[in-house]
């Protein structure tokens, strides 16, 4: 398993241009409609994923093709991966097993979300629990309503060290 995080504010214009040149036409159309910040996050997540996948698969980054599940998750042949973004940071994980990654900027917990999870005492603890649940959903698919704690026995969870002010969780199928 390989997990990497990137602060998008540190990415050079040349690197952004290169990553943009790798986009498939449909992806370019989709992100061109996004607000500037969301567009930057999407482009950086795609670029980081392509660089990592190219290294793993021995392909040129622009040769990697994605298809999308009905929930919008990108997939490619030969390896499992997941991307996430929050604040100014994107993350990507690649694995030989089904995998999900979620990350969040540590911030005050909105009241409606705070009621969704039990057992947290601080904002950091809440977002750690939240990212664990989201990573599991990204790994196995489904929705919050379908999530059942007993299913966690089929998965392995790790908490990689994210950038300062962020928390992250990875879920891999056993």
In total, the chain counts a number of residues equal to: 174
Residue 147 domain boundaries: 2-173
List the chain pLDDT tens, one digit each, 174 residues. Answer: 999 999 999 999 999 999 999 999 999 999 999 999 999 999 999 999 999 999 999 999 999 999 988 877 889 998 999 999 999 999 999 999 999 999 999 999 998 888 888 889 999 999 999 999 899 989 987 666 666 665 667 889 999 999 999 999 999 998
Q: What stretch of H or E contains 81? A: strand 80-86
CA distance 128 to 134: 10
- For the chain, what is the domain count? 1
Give me 138's structure tokens.
């990204």
Enter the pTM of the model.
Answer: 0.92
- What CATH number corresponds to the domain at position 85? 3.90.470.20
């Amino acid at each position: 398993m390989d997990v990497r995080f990137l602060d998008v504010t540190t990415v050079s214009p040349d690197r952004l241009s290169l990553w943009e040149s790798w986009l498939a036409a449909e992806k370019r159309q989709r992100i061109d409609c996004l607000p500037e910040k969301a567009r930057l996050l999407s482009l950086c997540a795609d670029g980081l994923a392509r660089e990592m996948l190219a290294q793993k698969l021995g392909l040129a980054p622009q040769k990697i093709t994605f298809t999308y599940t009905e929930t919008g998750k990108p997939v490619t042949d030969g390896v499992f991966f997941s991307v996430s973004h929050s604040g100014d940071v994107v993350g990507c994980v690649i694995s030989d097993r089904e995998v999900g990654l979620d990350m969040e900027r540590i911030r005050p917990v909105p009241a409606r979300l705070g009621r969704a999870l039990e057992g947290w005492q601080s904002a950091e603890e809440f977002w750690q629990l939240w990212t664990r649940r989201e990573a599991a959903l990204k790994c196995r698919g489904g929705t919050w309503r379908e999530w059942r704690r007993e299913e966690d026995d089929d998965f392995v969870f790790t908490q990689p060290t994210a950038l300062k002010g962020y928390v992250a969780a990875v879920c891999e199928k056993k």
